[in-house]
Amino acid sequence: MKPANLLLEPSDADGSAPFLRLGDFGVAVPVADVRLTRGPAAVGTDGYMAPEQAAGAAPDPRQDLYAAGVVATQLLTGRPPRPGRAPMVPEGPLRPLLEALVDHDPLLRPPSAAAALERLRRLDLPPDGPWPVVPDRLGPPPAVAGPRWPTAVIAVSLVVLAACGVACWLMLG
């Protein structure tokens, strides 16, 4: 998962936030199926792959959560990741979750998208924000209004990206 895989549906005329969709599942296949993408090294994009994935470890949901954390950090900072270096997580209410998602030790990351979502829901986010309801399944775009929508979009994007990672993991397992 990387920013090039994120597709934004434009905002409505009412000023609501754009809706994020994840595309490009080119390397996601069930474990028993034939893989069309092969090579002597790990398949993925430098900077977005979890360290253990880059080292050739077997697929694990925490690798997708790492990528979601890297992408979210890039969305917040505007800086692309530097391969081999931990992302610089910005200050703010999402920082504890993002630091956990991009931890180089997979055992210190949330074990699943559900666990990451639970941590996201426990964050001390400003109560005055127009936070959308996060559905358990993909549905219509959430209605978000007001000037604080970028933070809400990032929070929702993390959940969607984590859920997509779990879907990929289920396909592989």
pLDDT tens for residues 146-167? 555 566 667 667 777 776 666 6
Contact 71, 1 (CB under 8 A): yes
pTM: 0.64
Least confident of 34-43, 51-60, 70-79: 34-43
Q: What is the mean pLDDT of the chain?
A: 75
The string of DSSP codes covering 35-71 is PS---SS--S-TTTS-HHHHTTPPP-HHHHHHHHHHH
**Residue 151 near residue 129, CB atoms below 8 Å:** yes
**49 pLDDT higher than 90:** no
Give the per-residue pLDDT at 165: 67
Tokens of 120: 């996201």
The domain ranges of the chain are 3-10+24-30+42-172
Q: How far is CA 63 from the centre of its chain?
A: 10
Tell me which of 2.60.120, 1.20.1460, 1.10.510, 3.40.50 is the CATH number of domain 3-10+24-30+42-172. Answer: 1.10.510
pLDDT in tens, 73-127: 888 888 888 877 778 888 888 889 999 999 999 999 999 988 998 998 888 776 6
CA–CA gap between residue 135 and residue 169 (Å, rounded):
20
Where is pLDDT greater, at 7 or 129?
7
Return the exposure string of 79-118: e unless at least 16 CB atoms fall within 10 Å of the residue's CB, then b. eebeeeeebebeeeebeebbbbbbbeebeebbebbebbbe
